Amino acid sequence: MKTINSEHHLDLTKEDEKVYSTLNLGPTHPATHGIFQNILTMNGETIVGAEQTIGYIHRAFEKIAERRPYYQITTLTDRLNYCSSPINNIGWHLAVEKLLGVETNKRIDYMRIIVMELARIADHLICNSVIGVDSGALTGFVYVFEEREKIYEIYEELCGARLTTNLGRVGGFDRDFTAVAIQKIRDLMKGLPKVLHEFEKLLMRNRIFMDRTINVGAISAERALNYGFAGPNLRAAGVDYDVRVQEPYSSYNDFDFVVPIGQNGDTYDRYCVRQTELWESIKLVNNALENLPEGKFNAEVPAFFMPPKEDVYSKMEPLISHFKMVMGEIDVPEKEIYKAVEGANGELGFYVVADGGRSPYRLHFRRPGFIYYQAFLEMITGSALSDAILTMSSMNVIAGELDA
Amino acid sequence: MEYNTLLQELKDKFGDSILSADDTADFFTLVVASDIIKQLISFLKEEQNFIFLTDLCGIHYPEQEKELGVIYHLHNLVENKRIRLKIFVTKANPQVDSIVSIFSGANWMERETFDFYGIDFVGHPNLKRILNVDFMDYHPMRKEYPLEDATRSDKDDRFFGR
Amino acid sequence: MSEKDKKYTVVEAPEGYSAPGFFATTLDKAVGLARKNSLWPLPFATSCCGIEFMATMAAHYDLGRFGAERLSFSPRQADLLMVMGTIAKKMAPVVQQVYEQMAEPRWVIAVGACASSGGVFDTYSVLQGIDKVVPVDVYVPGCPPRPEQIIDGFMKIQELVGNEPLRRRYSPEYKQMLESYGIKIDK
């Protein structure tokens, strides 16, 4: 079988055209969860080459961020990996806190851990159930989405929005966890293990699922590191790199959790790594909730925190500081930082170059989805079309993160 | 591995091409000449264990003589150290060696930097635009171009404070 | 079980004249009644609004109650194009192509602020509303709209479908409108 250089698949000779066919997978396709296009050159059902096109949802986040003040960029970060928005929001707030040199107390850190792990649970629930849907098993998806509704209710209690949460503030939160929110989190943590066990019984040791996912879309650890993989995809290949352990932020080092790794880097390993991380996240949320210390829910960052409205309307200094904040006269040091957090897909990084003004001079998002999707070509060459679909959904490519 | 010993080794090997080194930022930042970047990254990967390319992005400083810059973030996973490398080129000759042969992950990151800033990566297998439409004729992230589409007709700038 | 014990609601009958044994109404009302309760949507989900649509189709909010149980990704078999999410300028020709491939009668609902008018993203790469390329029937604002809002938009489409005159798609004004968008009319 002739191997085709994947960047120039269109140079097919007349003889080749009798053997190879071109299939356009996307940009609108039910199985690509997001908009990206793959033009596949196929020999029957086997893929011999592909050409990837992305950018169908390019919204120019980095250019917009050069016009927005720091606290308005949170709304942009929501829309990066929109299945787990709070992780992006809190990661951005951590980056700005690193820029300003702000320390948060333990209560804020634990609250942030609870919110981030809930977001991680939500994202892994979508990814794993969608692997099931793409292999034909739709039931798991419907059962698991009910749990996601409960997580949405918790977000609504905390910040008012379901999906694009814009949660928290630089330096903490704008309000404390209410008793209703804590009760909802407890109820969810009590009910989630039963649903997860049911979901696992459907898929994890299911003969059909295992046959469809073992040795499908495998990548070795060396190639994964060379590409810059991070997150569950890298851990499934066997490298235990987790930003929460390597560079602990937000008091993650107070907690004891397992970082699961796989062996082959194939679809089944990615599914199992995400499933195990779900269990670890449940443990983390329970631990953080039980040991939640007392304290204030926001740190002292007067430049970013709007004073309470009653004070703004009655006293002079809060009125002035409110005005200055909204007009954008805040003192930000002139330096550049890079801050990474462990998103649901891997190392989500923020590179901020600040020039002392109201908006950053340059903001670059290190988006894990963009970086590991490059390896998709290598992972599917030589496999069948249905394997390519499963590989794509197990890599959890979210279009918002791809294109920014 | 201490940063001072690393800096000494780099100075021994590359001499004047290391233009400046800064340890006061959040991690070690080096500004180097643009022609040695490929050997430098190769040296850091093979001999200093910086096996992970975290990020590659561009930047534009219109008031400098060398306006366009490329910024690399590398990560030594073994000893948990990060390093930032910066190179600057002029708008007239924005050629930079591509590091795709060292890190495959740089492929799309260099295409994105080309798309946004117009930096020409010599040796890249497929340097085309990646995020914007193919027929776009300017490089949008440069500071002289506006954010909004100049041809839009439905939004009145007076109401948007522009 | 007698008539009075019914614990379920049936669809409201359109206006007409009824007497024992028959019910007389106009043809377009009868056809509209059938069409509006069996719309097959084409989910054109691009970004965050797509996830809210997944939540709307899931068991909690269940769009299937309204007859939209069967999602069709093939344009020829779909009635309603639901554009959910930001449409970039790179994607605009694809939206127009998908709309052209749909068979009459077809309706379009723009879900979310980005599809309606560009949303937050007033940039060089985002199309400021899909009504620049396809004719839109209902706009659902929100970022993202709650599932209840999406269902409300869907119910407004149902109202439009139920009251549409049968000859609308053949009228010269309709053809003129399609030409103004640059949409080729299939014979």
Among C90, C125, C128, beta carbon nearest to B154: C128
Q: Are residues A28 and A91 in the same domain?
A: no
C69 falls in which pLDDT band (50, 70, 90)? confident
CA-to-CA distance for B17 and B32, rounded, in angstroms? Answer: 6
Query: At which residue do the structure tokens 């003004």 appear?
Result: A357
d(CA A133, CA A141): 7
Q: How does the average pLDDT of chain A come out, rounded?
A: 89
The reply to whether A154 and A40 lie within a common domain is no
Mean pLDDT across the stretch A2-28? 69
Supply the CATH number for residue A74's domain: 1.10.645.10
Which residues of C are less than 8 Å from A35 in CB distance?
A: 46, 91
Contact B104 A338 (CB under 8 A): no
Claim to verify: residue A293 and residue A379 sit in the same structural domain: yes
Domain assignment of residue C74, yes or no: yes
pLDDT, tens digit (0-9, with 9 covering 90-100), for A126-183: 999 999 999 888 888 888 999 999 999 999 999 989 999 988 888 889 889 999 999 9
Q: Would residue A307 count as lying in a domain? A: no
**For residues A328-354, average pLDDT:** 90
Statement to judge: residues A81 and A205 lie in one domain: yes
Domain presence at residue A311: no
Res. A267 pLDDT band, cuts 50 70 90: very high
Same domain for A208 and A292? yes
How much is the pLDDT for A302?
Answer: 77
Q: Is residue A351 very low, low, confident or very high in pLDDT (cuts 50, 70, 90)? A: very high
The total domain count for chain A is: 2
Closest-CA distance, B123 to chain C, in angstroms, reads 27
B15, pLDDT greater than 60 = yes
Residues 68-87 of C with CB under 8 A from A: 71, 73, 85-86
3-state secondary structure of C58: coil
| Residue A39: domain span | 6-53
Residue A75 in domain: yes
Q: What is the dihedral of CA C44, C45, C47, C53, to 10 degrees?
A: 140
In a domain, C121, yes or no: yes
**Structural domain of C85:** 41-163
Buried b (16+ CB within 10 A) or exposed e, A233-261: bbbbbbbebbbbeebebbbbeebebebbb
CA dist list (Å): C65 to A152, A167, C68: 22, 33, 7
Cα of A79 to nearest chain C Cα, Å: 7
Residues A26 and A165 both lie in one domain: no
ipTM for the assembly: 0.93
Of A5-9, A245-249, A391-395, B103-107, where does mean pLDDT reach its minimum? A5-9
Task: Convert the pLDDT of each residue in A80-96 to its tens digit.
Answer: 999 999 999 999 999 99
Cα separation, A181 vs A111, in Å, equals 12
Check residue A3 and give its pLDDT. 45
Percent of chain A exceeding pLDDT 90 equals 54
A65 shares a domain with A45: no
* pLDDT digits 0-9 by tens, B85-138: 999 999 999 999 999 999 999 999 999 999 999 999 999 998 989 999 888 889
Q: How many domains does chain C have?
A: 1
- Assess whether A142 and A27 both reside in one domain: no
Q: Which of A16, A36, A53 represents a domain boundary (last residue)?
A: A53
**CATH number of the domain encompassing residue C80:** 3.40.50.12280
The closest CB to that of A335, out of B25, B104, B141, belongs to B25
User: Where is pLDDT greater, at A326 or A24?
Assistant: A24
Could you tell me if A99 and A49 lie in one domain? no
Grade residue C100 by pLDDT with cuts at 50, 70 and 90: very high
- Residue ranges and CATH numbers for the domains of chain B are 3-146 (3.30.460.80)
* Same domain as A83, residue A19: no
Task: For residue C187, tell me if it sits in a domain.
Answer: no
Task: Suggest the residue from C94, C123, C124, C136 to mutate for an interface test with chain B (most B CBs closer than 10 A).
Answer: C124
Per-residue pLDDT of C127-177, as tens digits, reads 898 989 999 999 999 989 999 999 999 999 999 999 999 899 899 999 999
Within-domain flag for C1: no
pLDDT band at B1 (very low <50, low <70, confident <90, very high): low
Whether residue C20 has pLDDT greater than 80 = yes
Instruction: Please check whether residue A322 lies inside any domain of the structure.
Output: no
User: Across B3-140, where does the E strand assignment appear?
Assistant: 18-22, 28-32, 52-60, 68-76, 81-89, 95-97, 120-122
A161 touches A152 (CB < 8 A): no
Percent of chain B surpassing pLDDT 90: 49
A119, A151: one domain: yes
User: Does A66 map to a domain?
Assistant: yes
Asked if the structure places residue A221 within a domain, the reply is yes
- Asked whether residue A124 is domain-assigned, the answer is yes
Q: Are A46 and A70 part of one and the same domain?
A: no
pLDDT at C5: 59
Q: What are the backbone dihedrals phi and psi of residue C180, each rounded to the nearest 5 degrees, phi first?
A: -65, -20
* C-alpha of A318 from chain center: 37
* C-alpha dist (Å) from residue B1 to A34, A60, A239, B75, B78: 43, 39, 22, 13, 11
Residue C73 has pLDDT above 90, yes or no: no
> Is residue A316 domain-resident?
no
Give the pLDDT mean for A336-343.
Answer: 92
